[in-house]
Each structure stands twice: as structure tokens, then as C-alpha cells.
Structure 1
Amino acid sequence: MDVLKITPQEARRTAVAAQRLAGPYPADTKDNLLDLMQQIRCLQLDPIRAVERTQYLVLWSRLGQYSRDHLHQLLYEDRHLFEYWAHAAS
């Protein structure tokens, strides 16, 4: 099997795109928020706010303007997402 070689710039572009940090922001819909969560798989909840809570900054950096109500609905009403305090257990 041949080894695939890429440049550092290609590796950087791939990593940034995989984390959904490149390209235009999607529309502010609950489905787009859920799609992002299915791709990034984990979002750390953080009660400490220097600028804003971590979970909101992560979503904003990938979705642009979005409704926090959609996150709340996906977590607590639709139960498509769940809250787990893994960082607190470490």
C-alpha cells in the first residue's frame, strides 16, 4: 500500500474543515445544530464564563448565529443530545 503524503497546509485545511471551522455558516435551524453535533461528537459544557461559556463559543464558531433554544430543545425536550460531565470526573 502506498503512503499518502500531504503538505502541512493540506493537513491544516483538512483538520480545520473536519471541525467545521471553514466555509460559510449554515442557516440557524435545529437540524443544522444536530448535524454539527453528530459530526463533532462531543461538546464540553463549562459553567465558567470569561467571554462566554465554552459550549456556546464552540457552536458559534461553527454555526455563526444560532438559537440557544435549539440546543436546549435538542438536549432536554427532543433528547437527541445528552449532557455528561466527563471533564468534571477527571
Structure 2
Amino acid sequence: MQIGGREMAARLQLRQGIIDRLRESRGIPSEEVMARMIGVDRGTLRRVVNGAQPSGTFVANASVAFGMGIGELFEVVVGARAAA
């Protein structure tokens, strides 16, 4: 997509602080337990928490695991596309 003549890319990322808020409010004891709830390993959860784009499966599983809409957990971020 182009905005103002620049090539831009949109991607999903977790909303800031949502994982910590969910752990606290739902009494989830560790990242390991939370990762298992989503169906991923702890490393994958950490990468997504740190800004990596989640897979479609991660997004769907997190939504189901926490009973929340995708828009409650994730936000769309638009930035300049990296040069090839």
C-alpha cells in the first residue's frame, strides 16, 4: 500500500501490556502456562510480546483461549516497508 508516495506495510502486533494484564487478572502463573494455553512455546510467545508479527494460528488461538476479540488483543501497525 502507498501512503504519501511511500510504500507502507500493515501488520498485527499485540496491544502493549495485554499479556501482563491477562496474566494478572486471570491468575495465570507463568509465561509457560500462558504459551501452552495459546498452543505455542514460550519462545514464540516472547517473540510476539516483543513485537514480532504473530501467525494467524497464534491470533486465532489467543482469541479463543482468552475469550476476547482479535481487536481487543491486537492492533494494526502501519510502517514503512523495508527496502528489498
TM range (shorter): under 0.3
Under a length normalisation based on structure 2, what TM-score does the superposition of the two structures give?
Answer: 0.27
Query: Who wins on radius of gyration, i.e. which is larger?
Result: 1
Under a length normalisation based on structure 1, what TM-score does the superposition of the two structures give?
Answer: 0.26
